[in-house]
Amino acid sequence: MRLTDREINNVVILEPKGKIMGGPDASLLHDKLYELIENDKKKVVIDLGGVEWMNSTGLGILISSYTTLRNHQGELKLANVTDKIQSLLTITKLISVFEAHDSVEEAVNSFK
């Protein structure tokens, strides 16, 4: 997995690319999130448009990111969720946890 980031209107967009299956890449997102929190960047969108698929480790990373930001008075939203990931979020009931948007722009604008 590769990870890039950009910022729009004080919202950080994280862009993982590839497959999120565990292994050495698993800590990339986690480490980046803590870096953002330390820099007081607590509005985060994860753009999943470039993620081919993820397994339960990937879902665990999303959950960890969500709870970490929430515990620091921040917010995490998802954008561009692919059909495969949407299916996984649905069967695991995590669809009820995450706020998902059809585009990064929509996700950014949803922050108050």
Partner 1 sequence: MSACFFWSQYNMTKPIIKGDTIKVPSSPEFLPDVDGFLEGTLRGYGVDESAVADIAISVSELVNNAIVHGNKVSPHKMVTVRISRARKTVTVSVSDEGGGFDPTDVPNPLADENLLHEVGRGLFIVRSLMDKVDVQTTGTGTTVVITKAV
For the window 46-85, what string marks contact with partner 1 as x by the rule CB under 8 A?
A: ------xxxxxx-xxx-xx-xx----------------x-
Tell me the residue type at 77: K
**Closest of 27, 30, 54 to residue 44, by C-alpha:** 30
Place of tokens 């495969």: 84
Q: Can you tell me the distance from the alpha carbon of 22 to that of 20, in angstroms, rounded to the nearest whole number?
A: 6
In this chain, which stretch among 34-42, 72-80, 91-99, 101-109 interacts with partner 1, using CB under 8 A? Answer: 91-99
Binding site for partner 1 (CB under 8 A): 19, 21-24, 26, 52-57, 59-61, 63-64, 66-67, 84, 88, 91-94, 96-97
